[in-house]
Structure 1
């Protein structure tokens, strides 16, 4: 029995020993340094250099929304109230200047036209009487009082007719073409410019007062982009600077803009408004639409390396540094902006005065990976 227990214990110890030597979860040390023999060094065609100062333009990404200055947002009302008989407008609809946007009707429109035509007829009679009284007065055939009354009546009629004509023009009726054969109970409102509809506030059949706003129209000739830019970036922006804006739904469709105003008012979140003008209007640009923008800043002198010096391994970027003869160490690098084959090194303090591999970095990475796997 004792002999059997001893054999079992011996077997357990042996099993534990084998488990320790074949554990698949044991960590493998990742190498970050590689040494080449002379033949490998010659084959890899290694060349080294240092960080170099290069002028690299940088780009900041900001966001904002399309806005309309007050003078380009027009509220449409009617000077004389009436019932809305018809309209085809919908928010977002595009309009052409002179296009009929609404038809209203009311009996006061007929009354105004009637008053104008009657006054016009009376004015003709008053003018004839005035001329007759003038001739009679000059020949002493009538009194001065009669002449003065005729002149006063004639002038009053002229004033009344002129006032009625202006009222007709307010409701888009041309007094010069109005006659007894073309009186209408309807008036037509037309678009004052090429633009689009922002709001529609009334439905057909509803009475519209002179103080009511029927529609809100947007004149797109001066819509602009209102961007939020952080305080630290404002110093690098200037009026007249160009940028490109795009929407989330169409990121590949870029709209060229120009900075027209930089606000000096810093908000609590340390941003300021930067107003930009679209160089070319597009019908898809609507007030309130959120936009992204890329602003290219001035060229800045930065410490940089050639892009071919950088290798990517497991999602991170690295540079190889020469630490001894044929020996190279892989160090992680933080990259900034790039231009013309050069890329800015953000954590430059790790690479100052170091011999950086400029040619053959990929060959070193392959050698390092092979050694790590062995």
Structure 2
């Protein structure tokens, strides 16, 4: 008898639990079914108000002529011929400095002055040589006349001619030395001028007032950043696609993402030490004033263009490590039903991106070109337990 009672009690309990489950499902039967389908098929349904709020724009894939690119890294580089040490071949002491670091200077501009015993001696030697040369030129003409009249000897004439040639060489040497110093010695200048050998910017100043200067020692350094170019590291596998004349673009993060362009003018012939990459050199069009050497850059080498199916970049959303677009499947006056489709992207340029549909049975029309992120966030909300909105 006890066993029968226990058995009946268990049956009653099972029956009650079953009734409770049915009654919970009966409360919202349509919502429960729709949610299951949506989670499986990644579908989203909006009502008219939501559709309008999303600002959705529909369209189809379009053919775009997009440029294929190779992404490379590199840095800005200044050629040796566009940087210079400011030196002098005379010893002395700095008496005046006329520039600061960062100043723009022109070739031949005076950067500093110095007192130099060697410079004073050079000017004296120049003055003596000039005077001797003037005397010997007059004496040579006199001896030449006398020689023509057979008044003097051949030996005397040749001696004056030899002395004249020696003094000419000496005077020319002293003139060249003063010219190298950009000197105004002929006008009686006393201070040694330290001048700029190239036009550019003052990069460093290694002296101060009273500093002794030694022959050939660097007093300052100048750089001409207008001749900066790019050294780009291209890997072995990409080299066959690289050629001289190809366009290069890169963005400057310190200039509000300003895009700068240039062209490849030289391709290295050896691998960089310790790598399987080759240095490719590219000029820079209209070098910005504040661009300096040694900046790290991410650049794009444009290797050609081709016509591909494309969509605006905002039409593509990323989720779960994959890429998707949305397609409008059904619509009536108050309901808009969208399906999320996986795609593969390719070339991206000027706001458009190449699109490859992974499911070839999908009709590439009524694609959401604008508003995809709204649909994706709506989908995430529903999957998170927010239910299905109508």
2:286 equivalent to 1:280: yes
Q: Structure 1 239/328 Cα, relative in aligned 2: closer, same or farther at 3 Å?
A: same
In structure 2, the partner of 1:196 is 201
Structure 1 residues 304, 158: CA separation in 2 closer, same or farther (over 3 Å shift)?
closer
Give the direction of change, closer, same or farther, for the CA distance of 1:368–1:354 in structure 2 (3 Å limit).
farther
Number of aligned residue pairs? 336
Following superposition, the deviation at residue 109 of structure 1 comes to 1.2
- CA shift, 1:213, in A, is 2.1
In the alignment, is residue 76 of structure 1 matched against residue 113 of structure 2? no
Structure 1 residue aligned with 2:254, among 249, 255, 260?
249
Shift of 1:111: 1.4
CA drift of 1:238 comes to: 2.7
1:229-252: per-residue Cα shift (whole Å, max 9, x none)? 344444443321223233222243
Residues 189-216 of structure 1 show CA distances to partners (whole Å, capped at 9, x for unaligned) of: 3324431233333333222222312233
Aligned residue for 2:258, secondary structure, equals coil
What's the TM-score, normalizing by structure 1? 0.70
Which of 254, 260, 266 aligns to 1:261? It is: 266
* In 2: Cα distance, 1:201 partner to 1:106 partner: 18
Q: Which digits, 9 at most, give the CA deviation of each residue in 1:52-73, with x for residues without a partner?
A: 9875434444332211122222
**Alignment partner, residue 126 of structure 1:** 136
Q: Identify unmatched segments of 5+ residues in structure 2.
A: 1-12, 25-34, 52-57, 330-336
Gaps of 5+ in 1: 1-12, 23-27
Change (3 A) 1:321 1:255: closer
Residues 33 and 90 of structure 1, relative CA distance in 2, 3 Å threshold: same
Contact persistence 2:98–2:110 (CA under 8 A):
no
Of the candidates 149, 152, 170, which is equivalent to residue 160 of structure 1? 170
Aligned partners of 1:105 and 1:140: how far apart in 2? 53
Aligned pairs for 1:27-46 (under 5 A) are: 31-33=39-41
Using the alignment, how far apart are the partners of 1:354 and 1:156 within structure 2? Answer: 96
**Quick check: 1:308–1:358 contact (8 Å CA) kept in 2?**
no
1:223 equivalent in alignment to 2:231: no
C-alpha deviation, 1:130, in angstroms: 3.4
Q: What's the TM-score, normalizing by structure 2?
A: 0.68
Decide which structure has greater helix share. Answer: 2
RMSD: 4.5
Q: Which residue of 1 aligns with 2:103?
A: 93
Report how far residue 277 of structure 1 moved.
0.7
Q: Distance in 1 between matches of 2:99 and 2:278?
A: 37
Q: Is the Cα contact below 8 Å between 2:43 and 2:340 reproduced in 1?
A: no
SS at match of 2:39: coil
CA–CA distance in structure 1, aligned partners of residues 223 and 379 of structure 2: 65
Per-residue deviation, 1:150:
3.4
- CA distance in 2 between counterparts of 1:311 and 1:100 reads 61
Name 2:298's counterpart in structure 1.
Answer: 292
Q: Output the CA distance in 2 between the equivalents of 1:340 and 1:290.
A: 24
Alignment of 1:317-328 (within 5 A): 317-319=323-325
2:74 corresponding residue in structure 1: 64
**Cα shift at 1:166:** 1.9
Asked if structure 2 preserves the Cα contact closer than 8 Å seen for 1:306 and 1:358, the reply is: no
Shift of 1:309: 7.2
